[in-house]
């Protein structure tokens, strides 16, 4: 009999993971209530997912008695539990408070590959998943990206491994999962509106490090100073990936190197994770930018230590096409190239975008909802690469104060205006890049809606 049978469970947040966990728990015989501050009308899309399942709803706000009467509380990642009075009151009473991910992992019977970091999570998750599939090893690919893990559990776990992207929000309530592999892509400023400081943000990411045990593989980016330090704080088996040749780094790192590095002279990845040296050629790898080579190495290390064959990985490198909204080529019109990088919602991702283009001058469209970011670090790169900066959205004044002196800058009122102006001011050979450095919620539902709208406007030009 399920341990949830008859249990009074309160799910806080009626979003994708909240409704997925509700479906699972109803099937287990739990008595489920979902509470959300939004009105029913605002949630009609997600509610369609649930159909006529036996679930109680509380919309337009939370009642104290719902929290105090629950035997288990599951909080959605969008909700900050630290300052949440009702969650804290229930906790004080001894009620367990957990998350969809933690609940899913406790039921997972397969190895978990957990991916986190500031940027590259979705790309690494997809790439690693494709490597397993390329080796005829069916797997789950999802988490923060796409399908919640609990849906996979609910479907009877029809694969061999769970490749799961985890955001810092999802990690906040994590303390029990033991990943077979934990991948950390990089750490840079992000979500400071929620965390207040880099220390708090890093602490949330570090939760994934803390849950690793001696058998866990911990895949770390050697080129990231914060992540270099993570190696001393884990009992897991460290696997490095780096753009530097370990021989040039020297010392113990070179002698005992375990992981993958990029050899720029030969355009190959050299991996040492199986006792012998393996070489992967990138001549046919379609994604550009150094960051995508890092992403590829991170996924490769994870897949290889989990037994995916070298040939399957090489095949995936040749066939992989990349995800939409990440440096996605949209169109060439009158000699001008348009790229949609709507998923770039922080400084590091904009840096990665700007450094990825080697030649042409860039017209950069940026702005959106600020996450309490410091934009100044982009200054030198904007000066070097950007011929025109078009700013839009809530953060445009703030970005202008930090970056306006580094390129010719225009502040515009609407997104349509931004796209039109970018094209009017362009010349043959220019790149027009939407890489906002901000989240989208000032004007759009999410980064996908923003990117799709950008593509629509560009295709109408």
Residues within the interface to ligand ADP (CB under 6 A): 119-123, 185-186, 291, 294-295, 326-327, 341, 343-344, 348-349, 352-353
Nearer to ligand ADP, 272 or 343 (CB): 343
Nearer to ligand ADP, 134 or 348 (CB): 348
Estimate to the nearest angstrom the gap between the alpha carbon of 196 and the chain centroid.
Answer: 20
Q: Cα torsion for 224, 230, 236, 242, to the nearest 10°?
A: 10
If we measure between CA atoms, which residue out of 283, 291, 289, 290 comes closest to residue 317? 283
Nearer to ligand ADP, 26 or 198 (CB): 198
We find the least distance from the C-beta atom of residue 123 to ligand ADP, in angstroms, to be 3
CA–CA separation, 299 vs 356, rounded Å? 20
Tokens matching residue 212: 């690793």
In Å, what is the CA distance from 357 to each residue of 217, 226, 309, 385, 430? 33, 26, 32, 9, 11
We find the least distance from the C-beta atom of residue 189 to ligand ADP, in angstroms, to be 12
Return the axis-axis angle of helices 347-356 and 290-305, rounded to nearest 10°. Answer: 110
We find the least distance from the C-beta atom of residue 129 to ligand ADP, in angstroms, to be 13
How many C-beta atoms lie closer than 10 Å to residue 377's C-beta?
16
CA–CA separation, 219 vs 234, rounded Å? 11
We find the least distance from the C-beta atom of residue 214 to ligand ADP, in angstroms, to be 28
Let me know: does 231 contact 238? Beta carbons within 8 Å.
Answer: yes
Nearer to ligand ADP, 348 or 409 (CB): 348
With CB atoms as reference, the residue minimizing the distance to ligand ADP is 120
We find the least distance from the C-beta atom of residue 130 to ligand ADP, in angstroms, to be 13
We find the least distance from the C-beta atom of residue 350 to ligand ADP, in angstroms, to be 8
CA–CA separation, 115 vs 191, rounded Å? 17
Nearer to ligand ADP, 125 or 409 (CB): 125
Nearer to ligand ADP, 124 or 273 (CB): 124
We find the least distance from the C-beta atom of residue 408 to ligand ADP, in angstroms, to be 24
Nearer to ligand ADP, 135 or 328 (CB): 328
């Amino acid at each position: 009999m399920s341990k949830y049978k008859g249990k009074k469970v309160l799910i806080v947040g009626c979003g994708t993971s909240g409704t997925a966990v509700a479906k699972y728990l109803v099937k287990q015989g739990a008595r489920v209530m979902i509470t959300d501050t939004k009105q029913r009308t605002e949630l009609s899309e997600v509610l369609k997912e649930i159909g006529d399942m036996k679930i109680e709803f509380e919309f337009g706000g939370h009642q104290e008695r719902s929290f105090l009467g629950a035997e288990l509380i599951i909080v959605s990642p969008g909700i900050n539990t630290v300052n949440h009075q009702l969650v804290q009151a229930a906790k004080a009473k001894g009620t367990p408070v957990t998350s969809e991910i933690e609940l899913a992992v406790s039921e997972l019977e397969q190895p978990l590959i957990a991916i986190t970091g500031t940027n590259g999570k979705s790309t690494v998750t997809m790439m690693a998943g494709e490597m397993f599939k390329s080796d005829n090893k069916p797997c789950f690919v999802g988490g923060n990206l796409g399908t919640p893990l609990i849906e996979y559990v609910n479907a009877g776990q029809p694969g061999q491994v769970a490749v799961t992207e985890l955001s810092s929000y999802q990690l906040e309530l994590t303390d029990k999962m033991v990943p077979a592999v934990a991948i950390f892509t990089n750490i840079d400023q992000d979500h400071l509106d929620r965390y207040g400081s880099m220390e708090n943000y890093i602490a949330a990411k570090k939760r994934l490090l803390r849950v690793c045990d001696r058998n866990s593989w911990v895949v770390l980016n050697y080129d990231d100073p914060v992540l270099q330090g993570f190696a001393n704080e884990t009992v897991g088996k460290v696997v490095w990936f780096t753009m530097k040749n370990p021989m040039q780094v020297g010392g113990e790192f070179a002698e005992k190197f375990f992981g993958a590095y990029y050899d720029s002279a030969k355009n190959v990845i050299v991996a040492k994770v199986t006792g012998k040296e393996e070489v992967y050629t990138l001549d046919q790898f379609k994604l550009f930018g150094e960051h995508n080579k890092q992403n590829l190495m991170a996924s490769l290390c994870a897949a290889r230590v989990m037994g995916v064959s070298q040939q399957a990985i090489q095949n995936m490198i040749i066939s992989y096409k990349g995800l939409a909204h990440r440096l996605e080529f949209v169109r060439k019109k009158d000699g001008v190239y348009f790229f949609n990088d709507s998923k770039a919602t922080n400084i590091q991702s904009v840096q990665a975008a700007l450094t990825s283009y080697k030649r042409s001058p860039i017209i950069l469209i940026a702005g959106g909802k600020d996450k309490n970011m410091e934009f100044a670090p982009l200054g030198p790169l904007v000066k070097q690469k950007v011929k025109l900066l078009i700013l839009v959205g809530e953060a445009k004044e703030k970005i202008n104060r930090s970056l306006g002196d580094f390129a010719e800058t225009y502040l515009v009122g609407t997104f349509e205006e931004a796209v039109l102006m970018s094209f009017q001011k362009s010349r043959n050979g220019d790149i027009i890049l939407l890489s906002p450095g901000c989240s989208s919620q000032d004007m759009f539902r999410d980064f996908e809606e923003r990117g799709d709208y950008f593509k629509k406007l560009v295709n109408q030009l």
